């Protein structure tokens, strides 16, 4: 099991702030940032801890498994099985369970099991995260492009194609447009509003490149 990331040894930042740094580093590619951060946590490359960790211990796990087995023997149908592993705070393996993550609330919970693990107030080691980000974005802020140096169409077209090549896909054009609006604010002095971007994605035949459908 991994040791808890101590605030005495390294600076910790919230899960939401960690995600924001990855999003910025990868030019606003939010879905890619989600995947990368969870991957790094699951590989133990980024240490983590939390304010509250709830989940069965090894002894509790055995009792929970017996309870589920007894219910099944009695003919009670449970929608989810008992967990098979007792995770602990700071354990990279927890992130390999495909947990349900609430990025805004900095929390995550084990899915598809009865009485699974729940972690609240998640923080990660900033030093670990920065070591994995592209060097230039980890050290320097993005410089906005002067108005008129590039058209809005060329900016958005290049960005959408970049995201498509990275495998980013969205099920909502509205959410994708909001993400592009937030990105555009970092590179343009006059970013288009998200609703305008939504219309342009359709007008310029770009939406299909990042659509899940």
pLDDT in tens, 141-170: 444 444 443 578 888 998 999 888 888 899
Whose CA is closest to 145, among 196, 111, 198, 187?
A: 187
Name the pLDDT band for 188 (thresholds 50, 70, 90).
Answer: confident
Hey, where are the domains in the chain? 1-141, 144-210
- Two tokens at 111? 């899915």
Rg of the chain over CA atoms, in angstroms? 21
Distance CA 192, CA 85 (A): 48
Question: Residue 5 above 60 pLDDT?
Answer: no
Percentage of residues in the chain having pLDDT higher than 70: 81
Question: Residue 204 above 60 pLDDT?
Answer: yes
Name the pLDDT band for 82 (thresholds 50, 70, 90).
Answer: low
Distance CA 117, CA 57 (A): 10
Name the pLDDT band for 113 (thresholds 50, 70, 90).
Answer: confident
CB 100 within 8 A of CB 108: yes
Average pLDDT over the chain reads: 82
- Range 186-194 average pLDDT: 84
Question: Residue 92 above 60 pLDDT?
Answer: yes
């Amino acid at each position: 099991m991994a040791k808890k990331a101590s605030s005495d040894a390294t600076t910790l930042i919230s899960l939401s702030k960690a995600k924001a740094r990855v999003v910025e580093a990868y030019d606003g590619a939010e879905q890619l940032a989600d995947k990368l951060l969870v991957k790094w946590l699951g590989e133990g490359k980024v240490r983590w801890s939390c304010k509250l960790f709830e989940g069965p211990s090894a002894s509790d796990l055995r009792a929970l498994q017996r309870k589920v087995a007894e219910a099944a023997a009695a003919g009670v149908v449970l929608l989810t099985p008992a967990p098979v592993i007792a995770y602990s705070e700071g354990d990279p393996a927890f992130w390999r369970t495909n947990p349900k993550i609430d990025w805004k609330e900095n929390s995550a919970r084990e899915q598809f099991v009865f009485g699974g693990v729940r972690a609240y107030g998640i923080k990660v080691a900033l030093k670990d995260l920065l070591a994995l980000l592209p060097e230039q974005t980890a050290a320097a802020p993005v410089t906005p492009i002067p108005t008129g140096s590039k058209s809005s169409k060329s900016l958005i077209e290049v960005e959408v194609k970049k995201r498509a090549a990275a495998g980013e896909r969205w099920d909502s054009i509205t959410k994708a447009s909001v993400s592009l609006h937030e990105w555009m604010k970092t590179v343009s002095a006059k970013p288009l509003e998200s609703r305008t971007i939504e219309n342009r994605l359709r007008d310029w035949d770009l939406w299909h490149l990042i659509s899940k459908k």
